[in-house]
Amino acid sequence: MKKYLIVLILATIFASGCNTGSKAQEPAEPSPEPDPDNQPPGMQEDGSAPDFVAGLAKDEYGGLDFSVNVLERNAIVPGTVFQATVLVENKGDKTLSYTQGSGSFDTPDALTLYSDTLQAVPTRDRLGIMTMDFVTKELAPGDSLLFKLPVMAIEPDPDFGSYAFELFSEEIYIADMEWADLKGRYPGLVAAGPGAYTLKAYFRYSIGGGEGDGDGGFDSFGGDTGYAEAECTVSVS
C-alpha cells in the first residue's frame, strides 16, 4: 500500500511538470503569469488561520522562534515601499524540513507574508526565470533563516501580481518604482491612509527530515505538519 501511494504521488507530480529532489534540473522556464484569484490567502470567515496553513498544527514544534518586524528608520508614508524582516530560528533539538520549491527561489514556498490592509510585494526571485525542479531543505538545531520581504503602503489589489509580472517583463521591478509613476500607470491602485496596520507571517514545516538525496535535499512526500505564526504592527504616517 505504501509503495502504491508513493507511485501515485510521483505520477501526480510528473503530470504537473515538476521533478522531485535537487539533483537534476530541467531547463529554466519563465515564471507563469499569476492568477488574480490565486493571491496570498486571507483569513477564513470564522477568523481562523488562512488557507495557507489550513489543517496544520500551530506551534507543533516548541523549539522554533519565528518573528516578523519592520525596522525602518524613516517614516513610512502612503504609497512607499518598506521591508519586513522575517527571522526563523531553530532553538530546539530536532531538525525541521520545509519546502523551498524551485531551486532558483531565494524565498521558500514555506514562507508567506500576509496583510488584509497592506500590499505584500512579490520578491524578485518569484518574478524572473525559474527552474522546474522541486527542492526541500532542512533547518537543523542552531540554524536560522533571515528574509527581507517588500511591502507597499497601499491597499491590497487583486491585480497587483499581474502588474508586477508585466513590469518585470519590461525589466522594471515594481518595488523600485516611485509611487507617482506607479499610480500613473495603474490608476486603480490606492495609497493606504495614515494609521496602524498589521502584518502577519507564516512558516510551514515538518519535524524531521526526509531521506537524503545526496545533495542536501530531501525526498519528502509526507507534507507539512505544523506552522509558526508571527505578526507586527506598522505605522503609516
Report the pLDDT value the prediction gives residue 27, as an integer from 0 to 100. 41
Alpha helix (H) residue ranges in 97-233: 160-168, 179-185
Report the pLDDT value the prediction gives residue 57, as an integer from 0 to 100. 96
Q: What is the pLDDT along the chain (237 residues), one digit of tens a residue?
A: 433 333 333 333 333 333 333 333 444 444 444 433 333 444 433 334 568 899 999 999 999 999 999 988 889 999 999 999 999 999 999 999 999 999 999 999 999 999 999 999 999 999 988 888 999 999 999 999 999 999 999 999 999 999 999 999 999 999 999 999 999 999 999 999 999 999 999 999 999 975 443 344 444 445 899 999 999 999 999
Report the pLDDT value the prediction gives residue 41, as an integer from 0 to 100. 43
Residue numbers of the domain that contains 115: 2-31+54-236
Q: How close are the terminal C-alpha atoms of the chain, in Å?
A: 59
Beta-bridge partners for 136: 99
The domain spanning residue 63 has which CATH number? 2.60.40.10
37 within a domain of the structure (yes/no): no
94 within a domain of the structure (yes/no): yes
36 within a domain of the structure (yes/no): no
124 within a domain of the structure (yes/no): yes
Report the pLDDT value the prediction gives residue 50, as an integer from 0 to 100. 67
Structural domains counted in the chain: 1
44 within a domain of the structure (yes/no): no
Neighbours of 9 (CB within 10 A): 13
CA dihedral 66, 71, 77, 83 (to 10 degrees): -60
114 within a domain of the structure (yes/no): yes
39 within a domain of the structure (yes/no): no
pTM exceeds cut of 0.85: no
184 within a domain of the structure (yes/no): yes
Beta-bridge partners for 112: 202
Report the pLDDT value the prediction gives residue 222, as an integer from 0 to 100. 54
Report the pLDDT value the prediction gives residue 176, as an integer from 0 to 100. 97
Report the pLDDT value the prediction gives residue 72, as an integer from 0 to 100. 82
- Rounded CA-CA distance 181/87 in Å is 32
